[in-house]
Chains A and B, each alone.
Chain A
Amino acid sequence: MSLAPDSAAALDLRRQAEGAAQALPPLLVAAEHLAAAVQMGGHGRRRAGAGEDFWQYRPAHPGDEARFVDWRRSARSDQQYVRDREWQLAQSVHLWVDAAASMRFSGGGDRPEKGARARLLALALAVLMIRAGERVGLTGPLAPPRPGRAQLMHLAGLLSSPAAAGDYGAPEVAAVMPRSRVVFLSDFLGDPAPVAAALGALADRGVSGVMLQVLDPVEEDFPFDGRTIFESMGGSLRHETRQAGDLRARYLARLAERRDRLAQLAGQAGWQFSTHHTGAPAQGALLWLHGALGRGR
């Protein structure tokens, strides 16, 4: 395992590391399994260039080397044709998976935590990207984008590492390379200002990307009633009400407002935004993510 410390200094540290590493194969296997549902090729650039795949036949211009002429095609007519290949360019993709306490929430025993679903989606997307020859990394400085399966193990290790402190996370975008692509996976229930700031900073660097809001169905429905004290997962926020049922309409209005704001932010920055519920299968979200990354190109 790539995470196993090579020094045997502290047995304790090693045990912890192995415990963490044990989570990797299942996560990676689940991610590979999920990724297998998506049939994909390389990220074609939809224009002629250096690449593997056939793009088009075009009449030969003066200046084309003779070795580029496709003789088989040319023999069918009087003209010479050149076989163009699609321009394929490896792309850098940065992933940010919110690891804050709020992502540890699950509203029902049969549903995964939001964070688990987000990590699964991120890693599955990474599998797809790596398979397509892209370079994948995290937004943080720990994992700059690299190609190859070794990077997958590295990413899996980082994604499985213990959660960050704090109730709500904010994206860290300092290490994002210019003109790369970014994927944000979070519930976006915290303060939207850091997200807006991050989007602004990234837009300045010519970075576009995708935001996927991962929510539990309970957060979407607010099926509470009676006298209730609501606490955030970390315990830093609390709100007491005598009639939780009365708050439902206003909560839903605020949630919709938040979503509108996020969509608006994304639109301004040229990003894609969508919402995924942990009650639904992950395949749909993965397809959307994959498609959205393709669309934004």
Chain B
Amino acid sequence: MWMIGPLGFGAPWLLLGLLALPVLWLLLRAVPPAPVRRRFPGVALLLGLTDEDQQADRTPWWLLLLRMAAIAAAIIGFAGPVLNPVVQAPADGPLLIVEDGGWASARDWPRRVERITDALDEAGRAGRPAALVLLSDPPPVPPVFAPAEDMAAALPGITPRPWAPPVPADPAAILPEGRFDTLWLSDGLAHPARADLLAALSARGNLRVWEPGTPVLALRPARIEDGGLHVTVLAATAPGAPPATTIEVAAIGLDPNGIERDLARAPATIGPEGLGAAVFDLPPELRNRIARFEIAGQRSAGAVALTDDAVKRRKVALVAGGAAREGLELLSPTHYLRQALAPSADLLEGGLADVLLAAPDVIILADIADLADLPEADRLAEWVEEGGLLVRFAGPRLAAAQSGADPLLPVRLRAGGRSIGGTMSWGEPRRLGPFPEGSPFAGLDLPADVTVRAQVMAEPAPELAERTIAALEDGTPLVTRAAFGDGSVVLFHVTANAEWSSLPLSGLFVRMLERLAISARATPPEAGDLAGVTWVPARLIDAFGRLQDAAEAPGVDGAALAAALAGAGPGADLPPGLYAAEGRAVALNVIGPDQVLARASWPASVPVEGAVTPQQTPLKGALLLASLVLLLADILASLALSGRLRGPRAGIAAALALALILPATGAEAQMTAAPSDAPRMDEARAIAAAGNVVLAHVITGDAETDRIAAAGLAGLSQVLTRRTTVEPSAPMAVDPETDDLALFTFLYWPITADQPAPSPMAYARLNRYLRGGGMILFDTRDADIAGFGAATDAGRRLQALAAPLDIPPLEPIPPDHVLTRTFYLLQDFPGRHAGTSIWVEAAPPDAEQAEGMPFRNLNDGVTPVVIGGNDWAAAWATDARGMALFPVGRGQAGERQREIAYRFGVNLVMHVLTGNYKSDQVHVPDLLERLGQ
């Protein structure tokens, strides 16, 4: 290949043909255009006339230039020019394809597959064996080279993994034996193992890297800050590429109907350091519905951030017994609860009756006894059975009460309780015993300084042990729990303030509330929070960011989950997703809360290809096309020059020239016009249609039918002007595709058998027109050969055309229809045919005979369609002088029929314009009566 700058030529010796151009110039210049021979009788008058212009016959210079350019373009085109040709050194030996295959590869996976396919095809043509290594899922044994065709066949089964490529212990262990060339498809992110692998690969042979230039975007998990949800967007852009500026983040969850949709969207502006934040300020009801955040338009697991309990805020109602004592804030039974819950839950305080109305998730009763005596007891029990969590704290009142009557306690209490370690008792204050296995508190650290001085005691019972979820070291229950219906009741056997124990003063109190799913977690869960429980994946994310049900996925150990959350990130045995245990949910996202994205950097010795490298563009086709176009232009120019371009030929030539010039601009115009759905109606026409009543007919595409329709409406307009106060302007032809139908009150639609159906958009517009009070008169024009129905082509066509229209039930026009008396009193409605009846909207079935009137009480509603086949337009049609265009009937009877047809038209227009005004005649007796008084 021979190169000039970025241009290469496949057959450069053909360019020598350019040398012949000057010779051609001289030749062409000497040959003038051939004369036209024309037969013309007037030649007798021409004899003896001489040309004024005596210059020698020569081809004009611009025509010569045109031809030269055409020939030059053809010569250069055949020389095979290629812009930015890819000059590749032939390679042999096996080819190893290394694909990162992590979540960041998912965003452009089809392009990667395409690149791998290209590489495999190339290797297949060269007979090179190939192997593929997916770094995110490294093979246990080094791959072996196989024929490239087999590799290509297995390619569709390979998908990216929703985690970052792990760090292999020994990069060389996953590489095949021997020397090979490598194509590394990088996802563009820096990676700890990259340098080692790079060195290992470079040692084995040539290495090429393919890396897309598009930025990698990812979301950190959402967190709550200052009452708002903050979602951090990470972006790693290529060094040369401009940084992505604003990115939209969508919050997705179930709406109240259970349908997943965008609940909110917020923009995030990416700063120069590659970080941006989207802030969602949502009401709690909406916020608790959010299941995940996504970067709009990104398909990758990194662009999805699942939410868990961390962003859920529960509605917690605090109800304390007795009036709060002024000034003794620290002794208030709810003070510590408020302190513990305020950062992570929405608190309600007030009387039990008030808070029940607010439908809280949790109700905490601090030392309230005798629930059975409260008037709200039944509603409270109902609320618990429907799934509420009732948490009760003991206290002096509860201890004094007769608990046998209290239904909402997990255990029966002994009256009086016990006091340990006080001045009047023996023994030390008791410490907490270890949480039993299976308790929601299992795994929590036991602080040494938590002691209990007094508590209420449970009556021994068989179920006491299983209901105890926390106990003192001597085994007496501290927290008991029992299920009531769908909900449960939890009793702390101590007070909610520090009077009976130091539990509310410790951090353990907050953790316990958290474990009871009362408060949301404000900080990332720690190992201790998760350990000891098997977490079952509820939903898993695949690499493309799609959520999938994890039906068969095994449960994972809490410790491993904690490690992954702490920063190790998800992996093959711990895929990202939502893990659930005991009513709590933990989201393991691809991106950790502190993760940053860094762009991969490559040593200069490694060739990096990607989207930014210029594409190889063969120019041969374009040049040959240009040559052809120039030759066509030359034909037109020659014809014009020799005077042959006359008459219809000139029109065709102009159309050709336009067709050559216009495609680009036309396509552009279409691009700009396409998004706008609005009808493109000529402004002058729109003003004319809106300025006065205008009868309009729908264009059928059949010129004769359209002409008759226009003439018919013109005739009807004349009659209306002469006889009524309706003075319509000249009728218009309406194309529902482009015209704004809202400007018309009445459409006449003749049906032809081969009429094209309007587009869906036009149907939408027609339906809007019908709903908005417009009327369409369908005319199948076949009444002399068929009744209304499917018997004729036009009838069948009408059925097909009208099917998508919102047409109400129809009936043959009843004799008392308002159309029979809107202006003239009519019994039948002939057009050119005096045939069948016409169909209008059916009257409501409950219409009653009006008293004293020959018609039913049919108020309200103008029929949106009138369907018939009497060819009214032909009966109405007049020419410019007002003469009827078509004969109707015979003699005087025919003229009478034409007159009735006109009267039908007048009635119809009156019906359109005045609606059911004449139906109001049912009220005439009442009006007369009133007048009489």
Asked whether, in the complex, the Cβ of A243 is within 8 Å of the Cβ of B53, the reply is yes
- What mask results when residues 16 to 57 of chain B are scored 1 for a CB within 8 Å of chain A, else 0? 000000000000000011111111111111110101110001
Cβ distance B694 to chain A, nearest Cβ, rounded Å: 35
B516-557 interface (Cβ within 8 A of A): none
A227 at the binding interface (Cβ < 8 Å): yes
Query: When the two chains form their complex, are residues B49 and A247 in contact, meaning their CB atoms are under 8 A apart?
Result: yes
Given A189-B41, A226-B644, A227-B643, A239-B46 contact (CB < 8 Å): yes
- In the complex with contacts A228-B35, A231-B37, A243-B51, A237-B43 CB distance below 8 A: yes
Task: Please indicate the chain B residues that have their CB under 8 angstroms from the CB of A254 in the complex.
Answer: 45-46
Q: Is A71 engaged at the interface, CB distance under 8 Å to the other chain?
A: no
Which residues of A are found within 8 Å of B643, using beta-carbon distances? Answer: 224-228, 244-245
Residue of A nearest to B35 (CB): A227
- Docked-complex contact A232 and B49, CB < 8 angstroms: no
Interface size for A (C-beta < 8 A) is 41
Q: Does A242 contact B (CB under 8 A)?
A: yes
Known A-B contacts A225-B643, A226-B644, A227-B642; A239 and B39 likewise in contact (beta carbons under 8 Å)? no
A residues within 8 A CB of B44?
A: 167-168, 189-191, 232, 237
Contact A229 B35 (CB under 8 A): yes
Known contacts A225-B643, A226-B644, A228-B643; is-contact A233 B41 (Cβ 8 Å): yes
Chain A contacts for B40, CB-based, 8 A: 105, 218-219, 224, 230-232
User: In whole Å, how far is A10's beta carbon from the nearest beta carbon of chain B?
Assistant: 34
A231 lies within 8 A of B39 (CB):
yes
User: Is A246 within 8 A of B47, CB to CB?
Assistant: no
CB distance from A84 to the nearest CB of B (A): 41
Chain B residues near A103 (CB-CB < 8 A): 41
**Closest Cβ of chain B: how far from A67's Cβ, in Å?**
46
Contact check, A237 vs B47: say whether CB atoms are below 8 A apart.
yes
A228 to B43, CA, bound (A): 11
* B residues less than 8 Å from A189 (CB atoms): 41-42, 44-45
> Is A238 in the interface zone, CB < 8 Å from B?
yes
User: Which residues from chain A contact B39 at a C-beta distance below 8 Å?
Assistant: 105, 230-233
Q: Is B272 an interface residue, CB under 8 A from the partner?
A: no
Residues of B within 8 A of A225 (CB): 643, 646
**Residues of chain B with a CB closer than 8 A to A258's CB:** 45
Looking at the assembled complex, report how far the CB atom of B783 sits from the nearest CB atom of chain A, in whole angstroms.
35
Compute how far the CA of A167 lies from the CA of B39 in the bound complex, rounded to whole angstroms: 12
CB distance from B364 to the nearest CB of A (A): 99
User: Do the beta carbons of B35 and A239 come within 8 Å of each other?
Assistant: no
CB distance from B520 to the nearest CB of A (A): 88
How far apart sit A218 and B43, CA to CA, in the bound complex (Å)?
Answer: 12
- Smallest beta-carbon distance A271→chain B, Å: 22
Q: Are A227 and B43 in contact (CB under 8 A)?
A: no
* A102 in contact with B47 given A226-B644, A227-B32, A245-B643 (CB within 8 Å): no
Q: Are A238 and B43 in contact (CB under 8 A)?
A: yes
Q: Is B647 an interface residue when CB atoms closer than 8 A count as contact?
A: yes
B43 adjacent to A232 (CB under 8 Å):
yes
Per-position binary interface string of chain A over residues 138-149, scored 1 when its CB falls under 8 Å from any chain B CB and 0 otherwise: 000000000000
Query: Residue on A with the closest CB to B638?
Result: A226
Could you say which residues of chain B place their CB within 8 Å of the CB of A229? Answer: 35-38
In whole angstroms, how far apart are the Cα atoms of A254 and B42 in the complex?
Answer: 10
Contacting residues, chain B, for A168 (C-beta < 8 A): 41, 44
In this assembly, does B400 line the interface, its C-beta being within 8 Å of a C-beta of chain A? no
Return A98 CB to nearest CB of chain B, in Å: 11
Complex Cα spacing A281 to B40, Å: 22
- Chain A hits for B37, CB < 8 A: 228-229, 231
List residues of chain A with CB within 8 A of the CB of B642. 226-227
For the complex, give the distance between the alpha carbons of A190 and B44 in Å. 6
Given contacts A226-B33, A243-B51, contact A255 B647 (CB under 8 A): no
The residues of A that contact B38 with a CB separation of less than 8 Å are 224, 228-231
Closest chain A residue to B43, Cβ basis: A230
Cβ of A54 within 8 Å of any chain B Cβ, yes or no, is no
A226 to B33, CA, bound (A): 9
* Interface-centre pick from A168, A219, A242, A258 (highest chain B CB count, 10 A): A242
Which residues of chain B come closer than 8 Å to A246, judged between CB atoms?
Answer: 51-53
- B641 touches A (CB below 8 Å): yes
Within 8 A of A (CB), among B826-851: none
Q: Is A255 in contact with B45, judged by CB distance below 8 angstroms?
A: yes
Q: Which of B456-473 contact A (CB under 8 A)?
A: none
Does A187 lie at the interface of the complex (its beta carbon under 8 Å from any beta carbon of B)?
Answer: yes
**CB proximity to A under 8 Å, residues B615-652:** 641-644, 646-647
Question: Which of A102, A226, A243, A244 is close to B41, meaning CB atoms less than 8 Å apart?
Answer: A102
The answer to whether A242 and B41 have CB atoms under 8 Å apart is no
A259 to B727, CA, bound (A): 53
Q: A241-B51, A244-B643, A246-B51 known; A230 and B46 CB under 8 Å?
A: yes
A296 interfacial by beta-carbon distance below 8 Å: no
A281 to chain B, nearest CB (A): 18
Chain B residues with CB under 8 A of A250: 49
Give complex CA distance A237, B47 in Å.
8
Known A190-B44, A230-B46, A255-B45: A223·B646 in contact at CB below 8 Å: yes
Q: Which residue of B lies closest to A220 (CB)?
A: B42
Residues of A within 8 A of B51 (CB): 241-243, 246-247
- Expressed in whole angstroms, the minimum distance between the Cβ of A127 and any Cβ of chain B is 28
> For residue A219, which residues in chain B have a CB less than 8 angstroms away from its CB?
40-42
Closest to A228 in B: B36
B-side contacts of A228, CB under 8 Å: 35-38, 643
Chain A residues 231 to 267 lying within 8 A of chain B, measured CB to CB, are 231-233, 237-247, 250-251, 254-255, 258
Closest CB in chain B relative to A222 CB, distance in Å: 7
Please, which residue of chain A has its CB at the minimum distance from the CB of B54? A242
* A102 CA / B36 CA spacing, docked (Å): 19
- For the complex, what is the distance from the CA of A218 to the CA of B41, rounded to whole Å? 10
Q: Is A108 in contact with chain B by the CB < 8 A criterion?
A: yes
**Which residues of B sit under 8 angstroms from A114, Cβ to Cβ?**
41
By a CB distance below 8 angstroms, the chain A residues around B53 are: 242-243, 246
Chain B residue with Cβ nearest A258: B45
Give the CA-CA distance A229 to B36 in the complex, in Å: 6
CB-defined contacts of A240 to chain B, threshold 8 Å: 35
Alpha-carbon distance between A227 and B52 when the two chains are bound, in angstroms: 13
Nearest chain B residue, comparing its CB with the CB of A235: B39
Given the complex, which residues of B lie within 8 Å of A187, measured CB to CB? 41
Complexed CA–CA distance, A248 and B33 (Å): 21
Chain A residues whose CB sits within 8 angstroms of the CB of B34 once the complex forms: 227
Q: Which residues of B contact A223 (CB under 8 A)?
A: 646
Q: How far is the CB of A250 from chain B (nearest CB, A)?
A: 6
A105 CA to B41 CA in the complex, in Å? 7
Give min CB distance, A59 to chain B, whole Å: 48
Q: Which residues of B contact A231 (CB under 8 A)?
A: 37-40, 43
Would you call A251 and B33 a contact (CB within 8 A)? Answer: no
> A224 contacts which chain B residues (CB < 8 A)?
38, 40, 643, 646
- Which A residues from 155 to 202 make CB contacts under 8 A with B? 167-168, 187, 189-191
Q: Which residues of B contact A102 (CB under 8 A)?
A: 41
A-side contacts of B42, CB under 8 Å: 189, 219, 222, 230, 251, 255
Contacts of A243 in B (CB 8 A): 51-53
Chain B nearest CB from A249 CB (Å) reads 10
Q: B46 — which chain A residues lie within 8 A by C-beta?
A: 230, 239, 241, 247, 251, 254
- Measured between beta carbons, the chain A residues less than 8 angstroms from B32 are 227
Residues of chain B within 8 A (CB-CB) of A232 are 39-41, 43-44
Nearest CB of A to B29, in Å: 16
Per the bound structure, the CA–CA distance linking A107 and B409 in Å amounts to 113
CB pair B41–A227 under 8 Å, yes or no, is: no
A224 to B32, CA, bound (A): 18
Contacting residues, chain A, for B35 (C-beta < 8 A)? 226-229, 240
Chain A residue at minimal CB-CB distance from B34: A227
Q: List 19 A-B contacts (CB under 8 A).
A: A103-B41, A108-B647, A168-B44, A224-B38, A225-B646, A226-B641, A226-B644, A227-B35, A228-B38, A231-B39, A241-B49, A242-B51, A245-B643, A246-B53, A247-B51, A250-B49, A251-B49, A255-B42, A255-B45
State the 3 A-B residue pairs at the shortest beta-carbon distance, nearest first. A226-B643, A225-B643, A102-B41
